[in-house]
Amino acid sequence: MADKKTILITGAAGFLGSHLCDRFISEGFKVVGMDNLITGNLKNIEHLFPLADFEFYHHDVTKFVHVPGRVDYILHFASPASPIDYLKIPIQTLKVGSLGTHNLLGLARVKNARFLIASTSEVYGDPLVHPQTEDYWGNVNPIGPRGVYDEAKRFQEAITMAYHTYHGLETRIVRIFNTYGPRMRLDDGRALPAFMHQALTGQDITVFGDGSQTRSFCYVGDLVEGIYRLLMSDYPQPVNIGNPVEITIKEFAEEVVALTGSKSKIIYKPLPTDDPKQRKPDITRAKNILGWEPKVSRSEGLKITLDYFKAIV
Ligand code: UDP
């Protein structure tokens, strides 16, 4: 047990954090989960509590972070991640990406740990380059409603790269595109949980704008594999991880209606401010450097996710 690698995962009770906890437990790591439970849910990790190799700290990483003993890796996944969350808690969103990242970088230095941050396709804003490659610098409105998330994540990348350059810290940056799967919050306001919830409860499906905006949805299992490979690589530059199969939001809503067999009808609501018009990752870098590409088709992934939502709705 003493020679087990230890990994600290912040945002452990969230959608992605909890899947990462599962993965690293199954890889034989000792996992230390941390979460302030503002948007996370202990139900996502309660199955891990009986395990000797899992420990949980209820802690806000914007405050000084202390973890006793050995820490070999840190994954910083704590952050509100859905547009309605960061509208409700904009200051916390800014703080967890900035102050939280600074605290964890300090911890990584003290522990001599490898540090990986969850960045996002939002660093590209409403992109003028399509598909998005990692060398595109983005088109972000810093003072718009999404600015609190986008700029926190951009700052997070900047400070992480600075610690790499000036302190020689081993760092990794994953830019995560739209991801879905079990353990998404039913009420997090994002397109997939909203559409599935509406379809399963017979409510109208709310498509924002005319539904011609595009996204590219990656199944969570594929994303976790990409993150695992990136962490184990020696590559410090940002890497897009996402599924490059692009779909309009209107088509996506129609797919959910068809899959659920729902009688719900699609209605149209105003498009939120600064809602990106198109988004699709260029994953050439992930393919070349990590040998990674997504394996789970949307139809397969949506079926698994629907079973999850059926059970909790
Ligand atoms: N969207 C929608 N109806 C909803 C929720 C979201 O039409 O009930 C749209 C949203 O405007 C955006 C897309 O679906 O264009 C994806 O939104 P989401 O919040 O899932 O993630 P984003 O990629 O915008 O961060």
**Residue 80 Cβ contacting ligand 1 at under 6 Å:** no
Ligand 1 centre distance from Cα of residue 191 (Å): 4
**Measured distance CA(59)–CA(42) in Å, rounded:** 13
Query: What per-residue confidence (pLDDT) applies to 2?
Result: 60
**Residue 57 Cβ contacting ligand 1 at under 6 Å:** no
Query: What per-residue confidence (pLDDT) applies to 3?
Result: 84
Taking the CA of residue 252 as reference, the ligand 1 atom at the shortest distance is 14
Catalytic one of 73, 149, 163, 180:
149
Type of residue at 267: I
Q: Which of 119, 190, 269 to mutate to test the pocket of ligand 1 (most atoms within 8 A of CB)?
A: 190
Taking a C-beta distance cutoff of 8 angstroms, is the pair 214, 278 a contact? yes
Residues of the chain with pLDDT under 70: 1-2
Nearest of 18, 83, 82 to residue 54 by alpha carbon: 18
**DSSP per-residue letters across 51-75:** -TTEEEEE--TTS-----S---EEE
Number of H helices, E strands in the chain: 9, 13
Instruction: Match domain 6-182+218-244+280-295 to its CATH number in 3.60.21.10, 3.40.50.1220, 3.40.50.720, 3.40.920.10.
Output: 3.40.50.720
**Residue 246 Cβ contacting ligand 1 at under 6 Å:** no
| Domain limits, the chain | 6-182+218-244+280-295
**Measured distance CA(307)–CA(190) in Å, rounded:** 18
* Helix/strand/coil for 39: coil
Structure tokens at 296: 């789970």
Ligand 1 centre distance from Cα of residue 121 (Å): 14
Ligand 1 centre distance from Cα of residue 275 (Å): 8
Q: Which of 86, 153, 249 to mutate to test the pocket of ligand 1 (most atoms within 8 A of CB)?
A: 249
Cis peptide before 131 (omega within 30 of 0): yes
Greatest Cα pair distance, the chain, in angstroms, is 58
Q: Does residue 57 carry a catalytic annotation? A: no
Q: Which of 186, 215, 217, 257 to mutate to test the pocket of ligand 1 (most atoms within 8 A of CB)?
A: 215
Residue whose CA is at the smallest distance from ligand 1 atom 1: 191
**Residue 83 Cβ contacting ligand 1 at under 6 Å:** yes
**Residue 249 Cβ contacting ligand 1 at under 6 Å:** yes
- For the chain, the average pLDDT equals 97
Residue whose CA is at the smallest distance from ligand 1 atom 23: 178
Query: What per-residue confidence (pLDDT) applies to 38?
Result: 97
**Measured distance CA(176)–CA(119) in Å, rounded:** 6
Cα 116–Cα 156–Cα 123 angle in degrees, nearest 5: 100
